[in-house]
Chains A and B, each alone.
Chain A
Amino acid sequence: DIQMTQSPSSLSASVGDRVTLTCRASQTISRYLNWYQQKPGKAPSLLIHAASTLQSGVPSRFSGSGSGTDFTLTISSLQPEDFATYFCQQAYVTPGTFGQGTSLEI
């Protein structure tokens, strides 16, 4: 399986901050990388697919970049509703392994 490693595991930030979360794959996955947001007690929701394609309805303050093995998710100006856990997932091969998550805290 391809291993996905996210950093940091947790991050404290404030409303209005710009934050960048990182995801690294154990081998090249081209741009087949998805990002999900999960709030406590809720199912994950898709933010970005193909490394940088914003899912319909997702605010433009979210952006993704990267290719190969290194990827980032950037939130340009944190809003109160953005405090959640973020997971990356590789879609290069099955199983589509997930990272361990980054918890974004106030």
Chain B
Amino acid sequence: QITLKESGPTLVKPTQTLTLTCTFSGFSLNTGGVGVGWIRQPPGKALEWLALIFWDDDKRYSPSLKSRLTITKDTAKNQVVLTMTNMDPVDTATYYCAHSLYTTSSKNYFDSWGQGTLVTVSS
């Protein structure tokens, strides 16, 4: 059974750096085709794809946020960390991490999600 859980601050101030950790179980990030992604959702709005890290350490970012995002993995700890710099109130959202599978017929899809963590940006 795959489980993921996000952790990090619930409140950050503008200009600060946000660090979120995704701790997972039930799979290994050393397995081919496996990845972990981050997606966020402002209150009442749509999902926004942020970043994805693959088993081979390939990393992909949203072009609009690339300069502010860093995604890393620690396979020994079964964790993926997302950092986002220069936080702004518009970054207030629920942040989800999700297990991704890559197949030649589907490419990437998120088949298991964490419960999400609400991050509020306010002074």
Interface of A toward B, CB cutoff 8 Å = 1, 32, 34, 36, 42-46, 49-50, 53, 55, 87, 89, 91-92, 94-101
Q: Contact partner of A44 among B61, B63, B107, B113, CB < 8 A? A: B113
How many residues in B have their beta carbons less than 8 Å from beta carbons of A? 27
- B106 CB to nearest chain A CB (Å): 4
B114 and A1 form a contact (CB under 8 A)? no
How many inter-chain contacts with C-beta < 8 Å in the A-B complex?
Answer: 71
Ordered by A's residue number, 27 sampled pairs between the chains whose C-beta atoms are within 8 Å are A34-B106, A34-B110, A36-B110, A42-B115, A43-B96, A43-B113, A43-B116, A44-B113, A46-B109, A49-B106, A50-B103, A50-B106, A89-B49, A89-B109, A89-B110, A91-B108, A91-B109, A94-B49, A94-B61, A94-B108, A95-B49, A96-B37, A96-B49, A96-B52, A96-B108, A98-B47, A98-B48
| B76 within 8 A of partner (CB) | no
